[in-house]
Structure 1
Amino acid sequence: MGKRNHLKAIRSLEKRISEHQEKIRLEQQREHPNSGLIYHWEKEIKAFEKGIRQARKRLGR
């Protein structure tokens, strides 16, 4: 992948992290939050963060 593709991947993953953080925030405000869903989204956020670290490493940052 080229530099442009890595930067695009980073932006995409950052956007997904924001979306998942919003889902978690909304779920926690519910009267009976679904902890299974929150756990799932947190796991995905960690995977997205790992992808960002790898893309930055490939870019040499």
Structure 2
Amino acid sequence: MTESSVHPDLWPAPHASGAVDATVTVPGSKSVTNRALVLASLAAEPGWLRRPLRS
């Protein structure tokens, strides 16, 4: 059984064929800052977290 048959409303996200260079602007949120910290900790390469919100 595939994931899409269990959850038929899931959208198959596209995969990048190479490195992605992009800038995304999101509204400020401590939740977003916390998610960014988790993602940065899982990354294989060094990264930057610019202007994190203080709680």
Asked whether the two chains share a fold, i.e. TM above 0.5, the reply is no
TM-score range normalised by the length of the shorter chain: 0.3 to 0.5
Give the alignment's TM-score, normalised by structure 1.
0.35
Compare the two structures and name the one with the higher helix fraction. 1
Larger Rg: 2
Give the alignment's TM-score, normalised by structure 2.
0.38
Q: Which has the higher contact order (CA 8 A, sep 6+)?
A: 1
